[in-house]
Amino acid sequence: MHIVAVVLVALASLLHVAIFAMESVLWTRPAIWRRFGLRSQEDAETTRPLAYNQGFYNLFLAIVGAVGIVLDVVGNPAGLVLMVVATASMALAAVVLLSSGRRYRRAALTQGTLPALGLIALILS
């Protein structure tokens, strides 16, 4: 079960790196800002600083998860703690997103499913 947990943490971390890329690097591309529900290039430009900042939060969560995996693999018990913190933070951020309104349900499920499953698997392992 622990191997499954580590794989889920890795997938959740990779997903959050992808979210970072969309929010902090690719935000002003129409295909990206449309995915986030914006209606115009002007809206993308206006929200760019917010998205840039939010993207880095996602990157930092991914880094915490990845460092946790590395430490876990080498036998350092801090690795488990970091993986729990990363997945719990990711899952709770998805809950916050879901609380923002029904239109964010799909995004919240996308953002939160892997971390929630990883956290459950970590607890059970």
pTM over 0.75: yes
Q: What sign for the dihedral angle of Cα 101, 105, 111, 115?
A: positive
Confidence of residue 23 (pLDDT cuts 50, 70, 90): very high
78-98 and 2-20 are packed helices; what angle lies between their axes, rounded to 10 degrees? 50
Q: pLDDT per residue over 32-45, tens digit each?
A: 999 999 999 999 99
Q: How far apart are CA 124 and CA 109, in angstroms?
A: 22
Write the pLDDT tens digit of every residue in 50-87: 999 999 999 999 999 999 999 999 999 999 999 999 99
pLDDT of residue 22: 97
Q: How confident is the model at residue 29 (pLDDT cuts 50, 70, 90)?
A: very high
